[in-house]
A and B are shown apart, each in its own frame.
Chain A
Amino acid sequence: MRCRKCRERAVIHMRQHKLALCRDHYLAWIPEQTERFIRKYRMFTRDEPVLVAVSGGKDSLALWDVLLRLGYRADGLYLGLGIDGDIGYSDASYAKIRAFAEQHPEARLHVLDIRETYGESIPELAQRTRRGKGKPCSVCGLVKRHEMNRIAHELGYPVLATGHNLDDEVAVLFQNTLHWNTGYLARQYPVLPGGDGFARKVKPFCRFYERETAAYAILRGIDYIYDECPYSVGATTIYYKELLDRLEADRPGAKLSFYLSFLRAKDQDGLFAHVQEGERAEMHPCSRCGQPTTAPDLCAFCRLWPEEVLERPTETFIPLTLAPVAEPPEAA
């Protein structure tokens, strides 16, 4: 197969776009498309510093790489979750991120270790609080969302970017549609507005297939963690992704069409608009941390920890910043 642009040997064929590209044209295409999505969904401007949530996986490191190539002021945030799973998962992830950051002196890396900060790793916290039926995924998601938002706010980043790709988005859409979970469907979008205690959350890779972000990482020589989180074995999301890939194999473009039709229904027909308006109206600040919550007093995150943990000195909760730093980001 040949590259559509130069007739060199293609390295990837994107059947949903009827587009095959060689290495060089693919490595140019991904940033071009990312820039297009950033503008189309009004994610952020070049004046706004962006905090990229990095896990060490292909998507987040590829996103950080693309944003830096595009010239955005993009710094990384890594949360040490303390997950081992006999493979030293968190340590290995962190090593990949450190290696990436060392190759990009123009960016900073902020690091917060959950155990050092709060006294328990994610698996320990899940065990103590008995959330998630033996799996820490639910409590992990809760802690990550809270801490990413808190740190973005405290360090003056108006924008928090995650590496969610189209397969992530479509798997969640599929799951929420199966359950007609209108609250989640109302919130799902490439950009979630900030304000009222929330950083703006953006997903610049939301229209790339997972195989495309993996291909980008490989072609760019990004050393990402290939092992999965040990707790993701048997996860429902992975099951849905496999199902959707079977559909895609028979009907190229099915995943993209599902997602774009959903966005169009929201944009043009106001699908779920009434649900979203109602949800935001019900929010108020948590009485301890000030982050928005629908709970009457403490938010779900603050309810996880004993009081003495949350009353530790303020500096306990400040992430470590590694880096070649020139200047701190301008306040939002």
Chain B
Amino acid sequence: MNPSDPRAMQPTEDPSAPKPERPKVVVKLRGQIWEVEGNRRAREVVRELGLNPESYLVVRDGELITDDTILRPGDRVELIAVISGG
């Protein structure tokens, strides 16, 4: 389309329509699911959930990752609690 064509200036979306939600990081722990913002290190996500990164391992797509790994929107991770015993 020619940029001078007035149709090119038309908004592609209705500004009053609700914006689609940005994908989030899905976190699973002991059967519970949380959705949190991405583009942050795994340890920051763990802390946001009120947990201590020392006490959890992070698995993404079945692979263990270090807690400095950046989690991207759409990532699905599982937290594995490591403390056991009584």
Contacts and interface: CB of A to CB of B under 8 A. Distances in A.
Contacts of A215: 57, 64
Interface of A: 1, 10-13, 20, 23, 57-59, 137, 167-168, 171, 210-211, 213-215, 218-219, 226, 228-229, 231-233, 235, 237-238, 241-242, 245-246, 248-249
B86 A232 contact: yes
Contacts of A237: 85-86
Task: Identify the interface centre among B57, B69, B86: most chain A CB within 10 Å of its CB.
Answer: B86
Contact of A11 (B53, B66, B86): B66
Interface in B15-70: 52-57, 59, 63-69
Interface residues of B, number: 20
A257 B84 CA distance: 21
A206 B65 CA distance: 24
B54 A214 contact: no
A218 B68 contact: no
Contacts of A11: 63-66
Nearest to A1: B66
Contacts of B83: 167, 210, 238, 241-242, 245
20 contacts: A11-B66, A12-B64, A13-B66, A20-B66, A57-B84, A168-B85, A210-B84, A211-B57, A214-B80, A214-B82, A215-B57, A218-B80, A228-B84, A228-B86, A232-B86, A235-B85, A237-B85, A238-B83, A241-B83, A241-B85
A219 B64 contact: yes
A289 B86 CA distance: 28
B78 to A, nearest CB: 10
Contacts of B84: 57-59, 210, 228, 232
Nearest to B54: A245
Contact of A218 (B54, B56, B64, B69): B64
Q: Which 9 A-B pairs have the closest CB atoms?
A: A232-B86, A235-B86, A245-B54, A11-B64, A214-B82, A211-B82, A1-B66, A13-B66, A210-B82
A11 B64 CA distance: 5
A242 B85 contact: no
Contact of A242 (B55, B65, B68, B86): B55
A171 B55 CA distance: 14
A24 B77 CA distance: 22
Contacts of B67: 13
Contacts of A213: 82
